[in-house]
Structure 1
């Protein structure tokens, strides 16, 4: 396990003045400052920003050109094919564009690459198949920005190509290398004036649809009906919940309880979730993994079919009847949940195997490169993420593929993974990604050299491998009230870039500990501060391991989040312990 270092946030502001102006607690004001929410307008947007505060889609480079092309193709009756991706963002992007184009009267269908047969993104086989099918226009979503050679082939065939994506643009010696498409909509282009480049592919698609609907004379309410999918994709693709991303997710969660999307309703039902009380956590760790499970173990078209159940505008005597739609959504939701349960078991097995290899061979490496030939390739990214969490090192997991090896990586804040791959691109057959995550392919015989050069190039120190636990406020338990805990709800939704706030208390006395749960994975502690103030604490993890580590210690420091325990109609304050150190 990686070493831990507790760090106190020390960003400054007049917290009392902010508290008085916005009628909040100074602790809440301090937490917002720690999230880099600075200035009255930013604070207002953070606390109460709505749909009207979202950025104008017209700021996206080429988006108006893309809409003009689509309108021309729709009016001319030309066939359009959407090329999506097999993860949650790609599936939601495809669903948004497909429903919108159908609504606008387009002759449109879709294709989602098979993770194993096709790999990531649009490829020449998909392009040539579309050409044979009589497709005039290709519209990508959540992919395409790196497909320079593939788009060249589409243009050779005389096809129109519109790219919508959100991934990094390949930059070689300061020059952007982009496909020669008819329109390229990607906020990460150097000359794109859009203020928030950190939106997901589904939000790029949703923004384009707003202008498409305006051009077709459709009202904003129809566009808003697609908001839930943009919100689900934003969380599921682990976008930073800052700026307009946070507004999109917050507003999407408000609307999702009354969503018309039958597929989302059925998926929540199969996972025993109440859509009226759904949080970003439920999307990130329950709904999202289920939508991803189809693309990982079978086909992403299962998840797409679920999201499109009853939503694709079919009418007439041959259209599915309501009871048939409900039954199909029920079946697909159950299949996706079962696939996700299977994926969890396979992930655990793969993570244990990868950890064993690291412990045996690669403990001293700065960048972990682990080859698991027998692992299902769709799990590589999840396992890489688990290694990153455990060792606090950039981690890349490779599996055996049809033409060599395929890999997926997850990084730490101090290592730009996409740039790391750019530096060894001569060893790779294909790659793409972000600073914090990447996917790639390479010949199997290159794996050793790939590992060696990544480590040789990595400018990382031991300090980078220490997990930093950022404490917002060193808050005594005596300060916690029910009102304060309730007020912290204005900080939601929590997630990447808007983490749940953490507090710290030193030198707590441990009066007793009980291990609970069928799997003994909960420890309930009775704690007392130095001032004699009592409060219960809950820790989730290996309860017996916690007791063994505690030994004869009877004092601890804790990093925590305050909570309200409701049981048999009674309410009491408690803390959820996230990190601890025994004294």
Structure 2
């Protein structure tokens, strides 16, 4: 049995509907299954989805107060008033600034932008910065990707006589700021049909309303912020990203070209994944470590030389950020171990002085991924007495709502159900931790703390080929509400399996259903190679990609998880050195079992602290893994152990000090000669001369001792203190009647059956024991 790392939630598309889609839409079964599994079950809906175009765009004036905001801005431009765009320091924020700045500049506005410093000002509106903006001569502030949480700050700006327009998409509280206009896709008085725009999406809709047209050249910037902010990729957002990526692939914008180059990705092959994992993190990096202005300057510059320098600067920031994240993550995990050991709490609230508040959100994400718990990671500042940080959550625990219940402890917070930012006094951290744990324990079940893997694309190997995978661009972009598929391949086996990489920590397996084959690789999953036994049927999930090597293209599965309900036999026979295989055995739920006491003495020092259970001294093992260290005296003992314990894994070592199988049993001629020899002498010192006689006759040493024991069993001789004396007897007895003879024959048969049988035969023998059929067959 192979336990999956996550609980699989498998949804299977309607096969009749799949056939209908493939026929009507002329698409592959893979494409049809993806559409259907994403809730698109109508042919016309599927056609609209596959042909998403600018008709997906909505009238920006459906926003509440859009007309008023446009009038205020145009009036300010007409009166030559200075306008400040107040943004955020993340990717969504800097792309929002870029879009709105560009639109206002095209209208001739006197405009500049301001981004709060994460460390000095924190997230959102800040009175000191509003004061600076006022003193710089601005009479209007337009917020992008922030604002709805700044009730006091907006009120302060109004006392300065400034006009304030908010554009935001974050969760708003019960009271909205008293701005001159607030553009929000979920405004309670609005009618906008797409509630899940990113901040850059809201800024773009304002740009459209101001310009009186759709500035399509800005969609490549909108695509970056939309992907980075993890909003729904349906409807208008899908068009933003789909069209934006199309433009990015051939963009002349120096910033896009430079970012693709430093990220090491071909510009003409950019995808939503390129944005999410390569472009977005680099635009995020300067704001995490200091001033985010350089990210805006990179996106806006028209100078290739400047763009190259700025992109390299952002790349350096990103590398520095990666190092800081790695260090803090290790410290946070050590803190978890020290605070909780194996008793993982319902919520993590971790805090330490010196942690960079710009990257603690990433650390929180890593903790949530590893432990599947909501996590808050805070940076402590002894000078101010404040703790600032970020939160990440799991399904079933709405982080924004749960933080709202603790508003009395928080000086500031904002965000979404799965991610939030917050600050509070250091003295309140312990109480916040206590409260959140209580809230989680009161509202969540243990089932909700088990990581889940949603699988809705079961495939057979014959559905997978390069052409199908290449044509998946038809369905892109993948993202929120149109998630990238997690593919499931069931009832397959491994034609070959091995560990690869310098540290042998990656898995390489060739999957087969008996006809088709598919290469699969699991990065960081090399240990699984020790847990997949030959011939076992298993199911595997992961991501399908195209692997190109020396001009050849092949499908390849990137493994995420594996599961099998079959019991497994692992063949350790012939590997005498325990050190060569003990690391492949699970460290928990395993029983090391011996039938012979001498085995315990022989192998104890190699057991790495594991206890060896001796047959007959304890209850039979009930652990999942049974490691059979040696051979039983007879097969009945082994049947008893296997039937009673029903292990999901059997590791067959079957150590024997000396095998007798290939020595055979002496023939009648040997027995006859030895009997005549003893009779002629009358007595024989076996202890002193037994080995010499064997050497003289060219026999193995134990042959003489074996025949002596057989004669003793039959009463032909008497052995005392190693001396053999002939006995007077006329009774004729068959050699095979001797217990010693029978024991040797039984041992040879046991070795043949267990020690020297081919793997498949041994597996069948154990199968028969487990099914209860072997007793009938062997009677």
Aligned length: 556
Residue number in structure 1 paired with 2:460? 476
Contact 2:12–2:457, Cα closer than 8 Å, also in 1: no
Residue number among 1, 4, 7 corresponding to 1:5 in the alignment:
7
Residue number in structure 2 paired with 1:388? 368
Residue number among 437, 443, 451 corresponding to 1:467 in the alignment:
451
CA gap of 1:147–1:41, structure 2 versus 1, over 3 A, is farther
Map 1:242-253; keep pairs closer than 5 Å. 242-253=234-245
Q: Secondary structure of the residue that 1:14 maps to in structure 2?
A: helix
Matched, 1:129 2:107: no
Residue number among 523, 527, 530 corresponding to 1:540 in the alignment:
523
Distance 1:2 1:399 in 2: 35
Q: Secondary structure of the residue that 1:99 maps to in structure 2?
A: helix
Matched, 1:572 2:574: no
CA gap of 1:275–1:139, structure 2 versus 1, over 3 A, is same
Distance 1:269 1:203 in 2: 26
Deviations 1:116-147 (A, max 9, x none): 00100111111111222221100000000111
Residue number among 392, 397, 401 corresponding to 2:377 in the alignment:
397
Deviations 1:306-355 (A, max 9, x none): 11212xxxxxxxxxxxxxx3322211111110110111111112112212
Distance 1:248 1:503 in 2: 27
Distance 1:387 1:110 in 2: 35
Residue number in structure 1 paired with 2:67? 64
Deviation at 1:94, TM superposition (A): 0.7
Matched, 1:415 2:397: yes
Deviations 1:282-324 (A, max 9, x none): 11111111111100112101111111212xxxxxxxxxxxxxx
CA gap of 1:63–1:549, structure 2 versus 1, over 3 A, is farther
Deviation at 1:198, TM superposition (A): 0.8
Q: Which runs of 5+ in 2 are unaligned?
A: 567-779
Contact 1:525–1:537, Cα closer than 8 Å, also in 2: yes
Contact 2:294–2:310, Cα closer than 8 Å, also in 1: yes
CA gap of 1:196–1:137, structure 2 versus 1, over 3 A, is same
Map 1:48-59; keep pairs closer than 5 Å. 48-59=51-62
Residue number in structure 1 paired with 2:430? 448
Distance 2:4 2:376 in 1: 17
Contact 1:2–1:467, Cα closer than 8 Å, also in 2: no
Contact 2:465–2:554, Cα closer than 8 Å, also in 1: no
Contact 2:377–2:390, Cα closer than 8 Å, also in 1: yes
Q: Give the TM-score normalised by structure 2.
A: 0.68
CA gap of 1:18–1:511, structure 2 versus 1, over 3 A, is closer
Deviation at 1:15, TM superposition (A): 3.0
Residue number in structure 2 paired with 1:562? 544
Deviation at 1:236, TM superposition (A): 1.1
Deviation at 1:387, TM superposition (A): 0.9
Deviations 1:166-209 (A, max 9, x none): 101113xxxxx100000000112222211111110111101110
Residue number among 130, 134, 140 corresponding to 2:143 in the alignment:
140
Residue number in structure 1 paired with 2:620? none
Distance 2:42 2:516 in 1: 37
Distance 2:252 2:114 in 1: 24
Residue number in structure 2 paired with 1:25? 28
CA gap of 1:2–1:62, structure 2 versus 1, over 3 A, is farther
Q: Tell me which structure has the larger Cα radius of gyration.
A: 2
Residue number among 284, 295, 298 corresponding to 2:287 in the alignment:
295
Mean alpha-carbon deviation: is it higher for 237-246 or for 376-385? Answer: 237-246
Distance 1:141 1:116 in 2: 19
Matched, 1:352 2:330: yes
Q: Secondary structure of the residue that 2:194 maps to in structure 1?
A: coil
Deviations 1:390-423 (A, max 9, x none): 1111111111134410120111121111001111
CA gap of 1:210–1:242, structure 2 versus 1, over 3 A, is same
Greater relative contact order structure (CA < 8 Å, 6+ sep): 1
CA gap of 1:422–1:17, structure 2 versus 1, over 3 A, is same
Deviations 1:45-103 (A, max 9, x none): 32110122222212111122111110000001111111000000110111111111111
Residue number in structure 2 paired with 1:107? 110
Mean alpha-carbon deviation: is it higher for 127-136 or for 286-295? Answer: 127-136
Deviations 1:438-490 (A, max 9, x none): 00000001011101111212211111111221222332213323343234332
Contact 1:202–1:233, Cα closer than 8 Å, also in 2: yes
